[in-house]
């Protein structure tokens, strides 16, 4: 199981990255992921049902995400939903992806690109 090299799974697609990121702080169902991503990105990334579940299907198959038992208690949540959480491999992959992105960001800084300047710069 842990023989998989996470670097084989990189880079992640934007949707996969956002889903993993969304699940990094807890168990969520599909619509919950969508809402969280939408809020966090101020609506820039909207995950439609098809895109979302295609990505979840792929992530599950690759072993990055797995289904969690039903978590009760939160209002409005019912037994109809299936919940998802990160697997250890998923967490490692997410961290590896973030590190990869961070390295790119640092490289950009080192080249003197000002990230604060406007887009036109």
Q: How far is the CB of 107 from other proteins (least distance, A)?
A: 24
> 63: left (phi > 0), else alpha (psi -120 to 50), else beta?
left
Q: Should residue 49 be labelled a site residue for other proteins when binding is judged by CB under 8 A?
A: yes
64 alpha carbon, distance to own chain's centre: 10
From 11, 48, 99, 102, residue interacting with other proteins (rule: CB under 8 A): 48
Q: Should residue 53 be labelled a site residue for other proteins when binding is judged by CB under 8 A?
A: yes
Alpha helices in the chain (DSSP H): 14-23, 30-40, 49-61, 88-110
Interaction pattern, residues 89-118, with other proteins; x per rule: CB under 8 A: ------------------------------
């Amino acid at each position: 199981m842990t023989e998989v090299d996470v670097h084989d799974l990189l880079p992640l697609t934007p949707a996969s990255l956002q889903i993993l990121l969304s699940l990094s702080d807890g168990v969520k169902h599909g619509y919950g992921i969508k809402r969280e991503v939408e809020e966090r990105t101020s609506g820039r990334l909207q995950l439609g049902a098809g895109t979302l579940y295609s990505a979840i299907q792929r992530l599950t198959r690759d072993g990055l995400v797995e289904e969690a038992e039903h978590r009760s208690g939160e209002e409005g949540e019912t037994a109809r939903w299936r919940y998802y959480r990160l697997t250890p491999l998923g967490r490692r992959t997410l961290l590896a992806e973030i590190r990869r992105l961070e390295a790119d960001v640092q490289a950009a800084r080192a080249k003197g690109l000002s990230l604060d300047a406007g887009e036109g710069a």
